[in-house]
Structure 1
Amino acid sequence: MAGARAAKPRRKAEERKQEILYDRELLDLPSEMRWREWMMRVEAVIFASSEPVSRETLARVVGKDCSIDLLIDDLVGELRDRPYELVSVAGGWQHRSRPRFAETIRASSAPTRGGVAALSESEAMVLMAVGYYQPITRGELSKIFGKDVSRDTIGGLRGAGFIGSGPRSPTPGAPYTYVTTPYFLSAFGMETLRDLPNIEALEDAGLLSKQGGSVDTDPAIGDDMLED
């Protein structure tokens, strides 16, 4: 235990030393070259990351007075004619192939980075309900669908990283609630939950109805998901 406590100050000292050695400000460079170097640093970090990169992370590699937003704007402009783009998702930025090249990428059969787990139609419906009504319990989901939503379905969505545990419900027994994760936003190209399609439109179309106690589904969304 004592060794572990002693290791923490050493790690912090090493981190501080690394911060001193790493030149963020680049004051020895002319302003135009400094800006170009900051742009390349930011792009390198985003390119290397397997998940959206936050503003706080990018701020570690540029000068303290550098505008991350202006850097991103310049990078977006430079990539305008490229088959990939820089997108804002899940509170950060990420490189993504442009949608019009999706068929070409599929035809190549080349392995891709960060593929999204495939969802069955039933899993997608449960995930959609969690997205709109979170925090929500499994019992509340079961009321929406008119039958019990299985623990396996919840476990599968958790295992894929789309949902996680929320606060305990104030209802009797204090069951767990479920909420979507940052990965959910990233996987579906959303910056925040406000980017979800308008729920009223889905309810008008009969696709989702919490008040009615059911979801209008076809037979494909049935006993593989809705079981005890």
Structure 2
Amino acid sequence: MADQTAQRKENAHSGLLDTELEHLPPELRWREWMGRVEAVIFAASTPVTRETLARVVGKHCNIEMIIDDIRADLSGRPYELVSVAGGWQHRTKKAFGDVIRTASGQAESARPLSQLEALVLMCIAYFQPITRGELSSFFGKEVSRDLIRVLRSQDLIASGPRSPQPGAPYTYVTTKAFLSHFGFDTLRDLPDFEALEDAGLLSKEKLLTGDIPTGLPAHHLEDEVPSNA
């Protein structure tokens, strides 16, 4: 016990954070880890990764179980912990979107994507990296620079690697903001394109004519915003 006390004093003197908390009984240690994890996520403006959270808890701490317990504590609150873009983030629940917009003086949410913009975004998400020329060939008509600019202005897509095609045109890829916007943790959370085709729920022909939903959730970031925004 004396050795542990001496170690804690040494860590405090050197500015090192005591992550193991071996001087605490298991229940209090767990509650302290929960508090640390929630504080780090709450203070961050972007999703917090596992690697970041691992810096403030013990090496044998199960972060998923910590997150589950925090979510249970937040039950019934207007905000929650969500898993997006490879990390975790505090967000207010969608049901309070109108309340937040009214309080902030926003008359209405940001303009939703048009059908064509949503379809182009869907194609980029599934077939990235992809050039504007390839998108135009896919749809059988030009995908304009203005349309690409709309998606870029909302930080939904970014420039990818240069294509090996003649002229080395830019390709486009989705961003972490895209994942966060639509509530995906990774691109693996996208509906399986081939499975949708095999089930007869999706076809390239329907996609090109715009006769299908995009497969992307229809909510917007303003409906579910970081709680520390």
SS at match of 1:177: strand
Change (3 A) 1:181 1:18: farther
SS at match of 1:26: coil
1:190 aligns with 2:184: yes
Of 157, 166, 169, the residue aligned with 1:172 is 166
Q: How does 1:41-190 map onto structure 2 within 5 Å?
A: 41-99=36-94, 101-102=95-96, 105=99, 109-111=102-104, 118-121=111-114, 122-190=116-184
Change (3 A) 1:205 1:19: farther
Q: Between Structure 1 and Structure 2, how many residues are aligned?
A: 194
Change (3 A) 1:199 1:72: same
Change (3 A) 1:214 1:64: closer
Letter in 1 for 2:190: L
Q: How does 1:203-214 map onto structure 2 within 5 Å?
A: 204=200, 209=204
Query: For residue 33 of structure 2, what is the aligned residue in structure 1?
Result: 38
| Structure 1 unmatched ranges of 5 or more | 1-16, 219-228
C-alpha contact (below 8 Å) 1:145/1:213 kept by paired residues: no
| Structure 2 unmatched ranges of 5 or more | 1-11, 212-229
SS at match of 2:208: coil
Identity percentage of aligned residues = 58
- Please, what is the CA RMSD of the aligned residues? 2.9
Q: Name the CA distance, whole Å, in 2 between partners of 1:97 and 1:105.
A: 11
- Tell me the TM-score normalised to structure 2 length: 0.73
1:215 aligns with 2:208: yes
- Tell me the TM-score normalised to structure 1 length: 0.73
Q: Name the CA distance, whole Å, in 2 between partners of 1:111 and 1:84.
A: 17
Specify which structure has the bigger relative contact order, considering alpha-carbon pairs within 8 angstroms and separated by 6 or more residues.
2
Change (3 A) 1:214 1:196: closer
C-alpha contact (below 8 Å) 2:78/2:96 kept by paired residues: no
